[in-house]
Amino acid sequence: MSDFPAASLLAQAAGLIVDAEHVCVFSGAGMSAESGIPTFRDALTGLWANHRPEDLATPEGWHRDPDLVWGWYRDRAANLRTIEPNAGHRAVADLSRAKSLTGGRVSIVTQNVDDLHERAGSTVDAHLHGRILGPRCEFCAYRGDPDLSLATTRPRCPDCTGSLRPDVVWFGEMLPEREWITATDAIESCSALLIIGTSGVVHPAAGLPMLAAEMGTPIIEVNPEPSALTPLATVHLEATAATVLPAII
Ligand code: BV8
Ligand code: ZN
């Protein structure tokens, strides 16, 4: 990881954000890394080191061993209770407040299933891959409250006695249509796109920044490493979210 970005790059990024009436934030696991949530690829540390994401974050994995998969999500939900939003989340919330004072706005499209943007004071427009807090019923429209995600044994639906599952999008599952439409609208209508902490490998979400690039929208990327989206960036700040976002916002 390089040292802190040059002042000229920071100034360029800040200028693009100031000039944009509508900033869309597109965040991935790197947004929450400094809060202590392992990014998806190293999410399988410790207890889950001997499982593959494909065995846990897929419908096949769920049908094969629902108690194992429920336990993985329960542990992730419990971990979420022990951590806080980081300075990056707070900087994004500050940006939303600042923009609304000047007649502008900030949209947030996140691939993350945690609630740290919300707990930092932001409103999230689209959770593309669902949310880890609050399970849903496999058979009816029932959605449980966040505490239910911490149940040690898989709870049954109080409305239809069906099986409750994590309200996330697994590999091989469609993204929720409302989230997808909201995200597409935000990315197509924004005047600057701020990409924070995503490797850009999980589709179709990773294809969204291309819509902004095709429209000539300025793109700022915050990521200590290059990503699949770096070629689209007007400016790439090679630094972490919690260090550079407060500096530019
Ligand atoms: C679908 C919820 C089809 C669950 C998640 C081959 C080619 C292309 C696509 C595919 C393919 N084979 C299969 C597919 C499709 C597949 C896919 O994209 N696979 C990938 C792995 C190749 N996609 C799907 O299955 C999607 N559905 O395609 O449906 C369909 C069509 C019709 C009908 C039916 C079905 C569904 C994908 C959603 C999966 N669910 N999450 C859970 O959380 O358990 S995805 C999960 O992984 C996360 O939500 C997140 O979105 C993703 C990880 O991506 P990132 O967020 O980018 O995180 P990552 O760890 O990768 O990177 C972190 C980045 O942060 C790094 O760049 C790092 O440098 C940076 N960073 C680190 N620290 C910091 C930092 N940045 C800033 N600050 C820091 N401190
Ligand atoms: Zn039900």
C-beta separation of 247 from 8 below 8 A: no
| pTM of structure | 0.96
Instruction: Quickly state the pLDDT bin for 7 (edges 50, 70, 90).
Output: very high
DSSP at 171: T
Sign of torsion, CA 40 45 47 51?
Answer: positive
Q: Please tell me the predicted confidence (pLDDT) of residue 2.
A: 56
Closest residue to atom 46 of ligand 1, CA basis: 40
Mean pLDDT to the nearest integer, 85-98: 98
User: What is the 98 CA–ligand 1 centroid distance (Å)?
Assistant: 31
192-196 β-sheet, strand order: 126-127, 105-110, 22-27, 192-196, 219-222, 235-237
User: What is the 143 CA–ligand 2 centroid distance (Å)?
Assistant: 8
Mean pLDDT to the nearest integer, 211-230: 97
Mean pLDDT to the nearest integer, 178-190: 98
> Has 129 been annotated as catalytic?
yes
Least confident of 43-57, 60-74, 155-169: 43-57
Q: Give the mean pLDDT of the chain.
A: 94
Q: Please tell me the predicted confidence (pLDDT) of residue 152.
A: 96
Q: Please tell me the predicted confidence (pLDDT) of residue 82.
A: 94
pLDDT at residue 47 tops 60:
no
pLDDT at residue 8 tops 70:
yes
C-beta separation of 24 from 194 below 8 A: yes
Q: Please tell me the predicted confidence (pLDDT) of residue 48.
A: 63
pLDDT at residue 155 tops 90:
yes
Mean pLDDT to the nearest integer, 211-233: 98
